[in-house]
Chains A and B, each alone.
Chain A
Amino acid sequence: MNFSLSLTPKALHIPDGFLSLPVALIFWAIAILLVGIAVRRTRGELGERQIPVMGLMAAFIFAAQMINFPVAGGTSGHLLGGALAAIVLGPWAGILVMTTVVGVQALFFQDGGLMVMGANIFNMGILTALIGYGLYRSVENQPKGLKLALAGLAAWISVIAGALSTSLQLWLSGTSSLKIVLPAMLGVHALIGLGEALITVGALAFLFQTRPDLLASQNKQHSKGWIAVGGLISLAVVFISPLASASPDGLERVATNMGFIAKGADAPYQILPDYTLPFLGETSLSTIAAGFIGLLIVGGIVVGAAKLLASPPVSEQV
């Protein structure tokens, strides 16, 4: 088995040098704030057990990122784990665990940079936890199949959100032309996210059968705020992604007007065609509609997979 494969940098681990100083520092500030709260909250929940439990869960995510399964064409599905961690452990513990994973990957394996670590924590730990937990909790008292479906959808959106946020950070840093990088990143991660969704649903289905008590233990917390935050971020991702992919010029103009970027650099070509529906023409309505249809298709796949996975298992002791 080749384990070096799993340590190759995934496209969301930004290395040092790719983000400008202001962008890197802003995201460090956001990360420090939220991780600080996460440390305090998990301390309150777990007490002395916090250190071993959070440490082992971080190691678990790191090890689980090695487990893969074949998808078509020699590619394989992998886990990022942010959504799963937040669903199983709760949002603050999820943020803390993913922060530790990102930190250790950067500090000891050079997988992601040190100065840009705040951005990496935000993209892979904070966004994923907020989306994963918020969407999952919105179906708290619903049947298992729906819970699994929402968990899968949340996992898929969380990966897309990470890709969207990474692209925007690269663009605000003047490293990438939004026109090319955004559709490319979103396209690739829409696929990568499917693997994430499938493994997340599979893992949750397994836990529903073996240890439903573990999943029920998260039910004590207040959840309205989380649902609102997770839902809003997800909606923003679903709306912004297709819109920005189709007409990055608009976004660039807004940013230039607001003084985020000094140059109105314009790429004279496009790699990917616009995400639009021909019969609606090239309007923003068309791109939003295209985004929604994409979402419905993926949602359908995820619901279908969730139903398959929720069916009585072949007894198999691993």
Chain B
Amino acid sequence: MKTISLNLYQARKSSIHSLDPRAKIIVTVLVIFSNALLPDGTWLAFGITWGVLLGVTYLAGIPFKFLFSRSLIVLPFAFAAVTTIFSTPGTPLAALTYPPVTITVPGLTRFGSIMLRSWLSVQAAILLSATTPFPDLVHALRHLKIPPILVSIISFMYRYLFVLIDEAKRLLRARASRSARLPHRKGGGNLAWNAKNSGSLVGQLFLRSLERSERIYQAMQSRGFQGNLLTLNPHLMGVADWLALMAALMVLSVIQACGRWWA
């Protein structure tokens, strides 16, 4: 089972890894919140945020390259924001003849700020996944008062995600091995034929998933399942976790102050 590409967790022994997952989730959300609150064009505040994120990355022993390459995931969405360069009214910077558009200074500022906010936020989220194993994240969600049923469903989904991805891979392999094709000759049928095949695969995967869920439920019942998942791990917030939380709050306050008054 090849799950490496799906699993972002980077096992290390670092001060960041050993923090309580609750504290890490709260800090991550606060960072994203702080980014959203920063006004456009507060480059200094964005810069400090990035510096802090890089510092945490270093402390956690996560390769910068890993962080950077994963963070490019926000790039395709730039198309949605790129229009602000031209559509925001303000001092024109340059007017192109083809296409006939005017680039404005506030437009560029707005675009840069949106992209930076998004890029910094996704880096915070990557750091969270890279330094926290999945079961800890799920426990933390429960401690953060997310409804236990929802948390259990999420943990079930993650547990069987890889099993069902393997199942899907088997179906796709079976399709590929029965779809022999000679070179220079068009194989397979038309669009409807292809769609029907893929639809059957999806239907088949659905049936197998449903049957598996029945089996799992029976196994759970035979082991005394009573409707909720239990855990032995008490997950207590220690002194270090509270300190980290306080430190994060202070740093974010400084960043917000920077964005408001020294921009």
Q: Bits for A35-62, please: 1 = Cβ < 8 Å to B, else 0.
A: 1100100010001111111111111101
CA distance A104 to B125 in the complex (A): 12
A178-213 vs B, Cβ < 8 Å mask (1 yes, 0 no): 011100100000000001001111111111001100
**Residues of B152-166 whose CB lies within 8 A of A:** 152-161, 163-165
* CB of A9 closer than 8 Å to a CB of B: yes
The dominant DSSP class at the B interface is: helix
| Contact assessment for B206 and A67 in the assembled complex, using a CB-CB cutoff below 8 Å | no
Contact A198 B81 (CB under 8 A): no
The answer to whether B164 touches A104, judged by C-beta atoms less than 8 angstroms apart, is no
Q: Given A59-B160, A175-B114, A309-B192, is A48 in contact with B153 using a C-beta cutoff of 8 Å? A: no
Chain A nearest CB from B253 CB (Å) reads 17
Of all chain A residues, the one with the shortest Cβ separation from B205 is A64
- What's the least CB distance linking A189 to chain B, in Å? 13
- Contact at B192–A8, with CB atoms within 8 Å? no
Residues of A within 8 A of B137 (CB): 107-108
B87 to chain A, nearest CB (A): 4
Structural contact, B8 and A198, CB atoms closer than 8 A:
no
Given the contacts A16-B35, A60-B206, A67-B205, A269 and B86 also touching, CB distance less than 8 Å:
yes
Which B residues, 206 to 256, have Cβ-Cβ distances below 8 Å to chain A? Answer: 206-207, 209-210, 212-213, 216-217, 220-221, 225-227, 229
A52 CB → nearest B CB, Å: 5
Q: Contacts A51-B153, A56-B213 hold; do A205 and B86 have CB atoms under 8 A apart?
A: no
Q: Which of A130-186 contact B (CB under 8 A)?
A: 170, 174-177, 179-181, 184
The segment from B12-20, B52-60, B94-102 found at the interface with A is B94-102
Residue B203, interface by CB 8 Å: yes
Residues of A within 8 A of B156 (CB): 51-52, 54-56, 58-59
Beyond A15-B73, A39-B150, A108-B158, whether A59 also contacts B196 by CB under 8 A is: no
New contact pairs (6) apart from A3-B5, A110-B122, CB-CB < 8 Å: A16-B121, A108-B8, A113-B32, A114-B28, A175-B84, A266-B87
Which of A3, A115, A170 contacts B32, CB < 8 Å?
A: A115
Is A18 in contact with B129, judged by CB distance below 8 angstroms? Answer: no
- Chain B residues in 8 Å Cβ range of A175: 80-81, 84, 114
Complex-state Cα separation, A114 to B27, whole angstroms? 12
**Cβ of A169 to closest chain B Cβ, rounded Å:** 10
Is A259's CB within 8 Å of the partner chain B?
no
Nearest 9 CB-CB pairs, A to B? A202-B199, A55-B156, A17-B118, A206-B203, A17-B117, A198-B195, A16-B121, A56-B213, A60-B209
Q: Cα distance A71–B197 when bound, in Å?
A: 13
Evaluate contact between B220 and A52: CB separation under 8 angstroms: yes
